[in-house]
C-alpha cells in the first residue's frame, strides 16, 4: 500500500492520526483550537507539534503542505454513545 501524507484538522485528541500512523501514514500538519485537546495531541504526537496551528488567524502564506489525504473530524472525537447509558 502506498504511504500517504495527511493533514488532521479539528484534530481533537488525534484518534484518526493514531489510526493512520499505525497503518504507516504520516501526518504533516494538524490543527485544534481547544487548548486542552491541543496539549494532549501534542503530547501524544510529538512528531507533529512543530507544525501545529494554534490560531486559525495565523497566516500560512508562503507555506506549502504536500498531502494525499485530508482528515476532518467534525464530531470532536469518536462517538461514544455505545459506551454510555
Mean predicted confidence (pLDDT) in 59-78: 55
Residues 12-47: tens digit of each pLDDT: 888 888 888 999 998 877 878 888 988 888 888 877
What DSSP character marks residue 42?
A: H
- Among residues 30, 12, 32, the alpha carbon closest in space to that of 70 is found at 30
Residue 58 grid cell: 495565523
Residues whose CB falls within 8 Å of the CB of residue 77, separated by 6 or more in sequence, listed in order: 12, 13, 15
Sheet containing 5-9: order of strands: 52-53, 26-31, 5-9, 69-72
What DSSP character marks residue 58?
A: S
Domain positions in the chain:
6-55+67-74
Amino acid at each position: 500500500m502506498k504511504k500517504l501524507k495527511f493533514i488532521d484538522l479539528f484534530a481533537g485528541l488525534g484518534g484518526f492520526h493514531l489510526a493512520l500512523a499505525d497503518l504507516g501514514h504520516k501526518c504533516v500538519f494538524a490543527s485544534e483550537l481547544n487548548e486542552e485537546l491541543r496539549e494532549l495531541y501534542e503530547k501524544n504526537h510529538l512528531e507533529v507539534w512543530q507544525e501545529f496551528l494554534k490560531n486559525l488567524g495565523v497566516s500560512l502564506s508562503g507555506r506549502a503542505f504536500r498531502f494525499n489525504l485530508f482528515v476532518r473530524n467534525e464530531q470532536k472525537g469518536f462517538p461514544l454513545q455505545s459506551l454510555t447509558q
